[in-house]
Structure 1
Amino acid sequence: MWPFEFDGPMLMTLHDLTHVHYPQTQPADRLAEIARCVEPALERARVILTDSQFVADELQRHYGVARERLKVAPLGYAQRFHPRPLADLGRVTAPLGVTPGAYLLCVGTLEPRKNLALALRAYALLPEAVRRRYPLLIAGMAGWRRDDFAAELQAALASGQVRLLGYLDDERLAELLAGARMLLFPSLYEGFGLPVLEAMASGVPVLLSPSSALPEVAGTAGTYVEAGDPEGWCRAILRLIEDQAEWQARRVAGLEQAQGFSWKRCAGITAAAYRQALEH
């Protein structure tokens, strides 16, 4: 967000540069507002917060922001995201017609940047028997330009093996995430990628694209496949279903990776950034 107009010291937070790299995934009115406000705000703000080192580096390259004005405050995850016994999750999954530990999950707003179409294509390539055993659940509110992949989504929903859940409240999402075999996160671009961290904290392996800030979040715990390779995604999904040792190794690595992130750390860095802005 950019600072309000006032005469005092200012700090701003910039979550990503989607408007630079993927302008086609943003509404025109949003792009116009960003174009009007971002560069003047970057010039005026004493300190600029980002969620990842990736975005901080991008700000230096694209806008020429001095490193000393940038503070990276990695996000954290809520305590509700933790491993849960599958036996405790039946009350959440039963109304959806799925079994804990036997479904795939996508989380994110239904918009082009999240690249849901890739997940649908990869899922459709799975053997029929696998799709019957492991339905694909999609959690997220409708976003801009959903019509771009509406036909693929409707075809997938018609199969009965893909379910669109819409927006879920925080606790229900945490429970559903903990029961997933894996999280599919094929996003084209992220300034952080909070669902990735929340999945790892829940003991759920993550299959994701190696783009933008995502490797910074998932580290070596993630299973990476390029965002334009549905066949590669299909193979990776099958491996995490069929190879229990690999699944367990990714689960353990994800839990360890998640320990490096916390809201307490994020808050401490943010508070220090505000103090820095006031002291100049």
Structure 2
Amino acid sequence: MDADSASRDFAVDASKPGSRTAGAALKPLNLVVASDALTPPLTGIGRYAFELVKRLQARPDIDELRFYSFGRWVEDPIDQLDMGDHVREDSEAAKLSNTGRKSWRSTLSKIPWLVKAYQLAGPSINALRLQSVKGAVFHSPNYFVPRFPGPTISTTHDLSHMRYPEFHPEARVNYMNAMFPKTLRTVSHMITVSHSVRQQVIEDLGWPEDRVTAIGLGTDPCFMPRGTDVLSPRLAAYGLRAGGYSLFVGTIEGRKNVDRLLSAYEALPVAMREEWPLVLVGDTGWRSDQTHERIRRAEAAGWLRYLKFLPQGDLPYIYAGTRLFIYPSIYEGFGLPIAEAMSSGVPVITSKVSSMPEVAGGAARLIDPLDVDELHQAILESLQDEDWRHQAIAAGLERARDFSWDTCADRTVEVYKLVTDRW
């Protein structure tokens, strides 16, 4: 499936479960949802879990809904987030909020002996707690499913631990390589967040096509176009002006390709860099010391601003105020910042690999993320070409209409019903 057909087909995937047979007795829909990803500050997977859980709680067609996290039952994982409005306003980049806190899970995942201990003890704890659950479907929004006496569903966000292990800490790769195959041996159905990852699952893992469904993600309504009069007060706090900068949002790490972005931007004429400095919004990632040194030099030279953390409500304004959004990642399972930027009414440059053309849906300028010269030329043209900019903004806003968390939840419930009927 090519990128254009995939983008048109987000709501009608070739593997989409059909409705249940008319007139047939409907089985009760009882769910157990793993809520371990709902740990503040929310990352991309945490955002997905939050949006899904919030909608599952409101659905009348679910007979029973229970939540399970790290070996224990949880009454209401959203109430227990204790994050105020943070979880309602932020995005995939929620970890960029003014809390400035890294997920404790992310920190612990880099400690090899602790990862090994959990790897050994976790399955036994889960088996003991879950063995008495009958007549339910278990869904993990975060890869791994435990031993469970019923049908199970895993959401697989990407296969970067297999395709690009060099972009992850060794302990994380070892854990994924040890635990993910166990999920693959027992899971009843798999959800992926893009057609691209679905195809990788089929090809790389030999997974049956009828047991994997691609369901795209959504964007929060706070990502929308905003006028200069609305933007100016928010942007002034950062020394920015509407339309007066380029933007990258994402963790500063190897997979996001920030070093090549810096090289491409630094090659722009001085006058252009003064007119439109590059703004980076992102947390510190793994093995990024050299990249941060380059960022410091660029800041000293005056053509770059690094906004590591943002107050919870400011990110949508930073998106809407940019002249150009640049996301030259090497690999993505989905690439939610692309959708957020298009929803905000700004033109986008992104990569022509993995899921990014699919998400862009023909509305962005695509580049080879490994070709600095091509990225440089694309930035140069995109900042100056007004005709392209108007076309890209209009196409992006049209494409952004396809990204709906409600649709994501609806299609996920259809998968629940499918595996319930098959069991």
Q: Under a length normalisation based on structure 1, what TM-score does the superposition of the two structures give? A: 0.97
Amino acid at match of 1:187: S
1:181 aligned to 299, 323, 332, which one?
323
Q: What do residues 82-104 of structure 1 show as CA deviations (whole Å, max 9, x unaligned)?
A: 11112211112112212111100
Q: What do residues 165-215 of structure 1 show as CA deviations (whole Å, max 9, x unaligned)?
A: 113345211111000011110100000000000100111111011110000
Residue 98 (str. 1) matches residue 240 (str. 2): yes
Aligned to 1:220, the other structure's residue is in SS state coil
Aligned to 2:217, the other structure's residue is in SS state coil
Task: Tell me which stretches of 4 or more aligned residues in structure 1 moved more than 6 Å.
Answer: none
Residues in 2 aligned to 1:106 and 1:217: alpha-carbon distance in whole angstroms: 17
Residue 18 (str. 1) matches residue 166 (str. 2): no
Residue 34 (str. 1) matches residue 181 (str. 2): no
Residue 204 (str. 1) matches residue 350 (str. 2): no
Ranges in structure 2 where 5+ consecutive residues have no aligned partner: 1-142
Change (3 A) 1:43 1:170: farther
Amino acid at match of 2:270: E
Report what 1:219 is aligned to: 361
Report what 1:272 is aligned to: 414
1:86 aligned to 224, 228, 251, which one?
228
1:1-280 matches, within 5 Å, as: 1-279=143-421, 280=423
Residues in 1 aligned to 2:253 and 2:363: alpha-carbon distance in whole angstroms: 26
How many residues get paired?
Answer: 280
Change (3 A) 1:144 1:131: same
Change (3 A) 1:157 1:5: farther
Amino acid at match of 2:217: L
In terms of Rg, which structure is larger?
2
Moved more, 55-64 or 169-178: 169-178
Please state how far the C-alpha of 1:237 moved relative to its aligned partner.
Answer: 1.4
Residues in 2 aligned to 1:173 and 1:29: alpha-carbon distance in whole angstroms: 32
Aligned to 1:204, the other structure's residue is in SS state coil
| Structure 1 or 2: more helix by fraction | 1
Residues in 2 aligned to 1:167 and 1:49: alpha-carbon distance in whole angstroms: 31
Aligned to 1:3, the other structure's residue is in SS state coil
CA RMSD of aligned residues (A): 1.2
Percent of residue pairs bearing the same amino acid type: 36
Please state how far the C-alpha of 1:53 moved relative to its aligned partner.
Answer: 0.6
Residues in 1 aligned to 2:197 and 2:375: alpha-carbon distance in whole angstroms: 26
Amino acid at match of 2:264: A
Q: Which has the higher contact order (CA 8 A, sep 6+)?
A: 1
Ranges in structure 1 where 5+ consecutive residues have no aligned partner: none
Kindly indicate whether the alpha-carbon contact (under 8 Å) linking 2:247 and 2:319 is maintained by their aligned counterparts in 1: yes
